[in-house]
Amino acid sequence: MPQSAEKILDHATLFREPEYKELFARKRALEGTPCSEEVTKIADWTKSWEYREKNFAREALTINPAKACQPLGAVFVAAGFERTLSFVHGSQGCVAYYRSHLSRHFKEPCSAVSSSMTEDAAVFGGLQNMIDGLANAYALYSPKMIAVSTTCMAEVIGDDLQAFIATSKQKGSVPADFDVPYAHTPAFVGSHTTGYDNMLKGILEHFWKGRTRTPNQTINIIPGFDGYAVANNREIKRILDLMGVEYTFLSDVSDQFDTPSDGEYRMYDGGTTLEAAKAAQDAAATISLQEYCTPKTLEYIAAQGQQVLAVNYPLGVSATDELLEKISALTGKPIPEALEKERGRFVDAIADSQAYLHGKTYAIYGDPDFVYAMARFVLETGGEPKHCLCTNANNAWAEKMQALFDTSPFGVGCKAWAGKDLWHLRSLLATEPVDLLIGNSYGKYLERDVKVPLVRLTFPIFDRHHHHRFPVWGYQGGLRVLVSVLDKIFDKLDNDGSEAGVNDISFDLTR
Contact residues toward ligand SF4 (CB under 6 A) are 69, 71, 94, 97, 151-152, 187
User: At its nearest, how many Å lie between ligand SF4 and the CB of residue 198?
Assistant: 13
Nearer to ligand SF4, 174 or 187 (CB): 187
What's the CA gap between 458 and 370, in Å, rounded?
8
Decide: helix, strand or coil at residue 55: helix
Nearer to ligand SF4, 147 or 245 (CB): 147
Residue 37 burial (CB count, 10 A): 8
User: At its nearest, how many Å lie between ligand SF4 and the CB of residue 114?
Assistant: 10
Nearer to ligand SF4, 183 or 277 (CB): 183
Query: Which segments of 184-232 are extended strands (E)?
Result: 219-222
Cβ contacts of residue 276 below 8 Å, gap of 6+?
A: 248
Identity of residue 481? V
Positions annotated as catalytic residues are 152, 156
Cβ contacts of residue 183 below 8 Å, gap of 6+?
A: 74, 147, 148, 149, 150, 161, 195, 198, 199, 201, 202
Cβ contacts of residue 358 below 8 Å, gap of 6+?
A: 381, 382, 383
| Residue among 430, 440, 420 at smallest CA distance from 374 | 440
Nearer to ligand SF4, 95 or 438 (CB): 95
Nearer to ligand SF4, 71 or 316 (CB): 71
What's the CA gap between 92 and 195, in Å, rounded?
18
Nearer to ligand SF4, 76 or 470 (CB): 76
Strand partners, 272: 81
Q: What residue spans of 32-126 are helical by DSSP H? A: 36-45, 49-56, 70-78, 92-106, 119-124
Tell me how far CA of residue 103 lies from CA of 82, 458, 466, in angstroms.
19, 15, 12
- Please give the DSSP secondary-structure letter assigned to residue 5: S
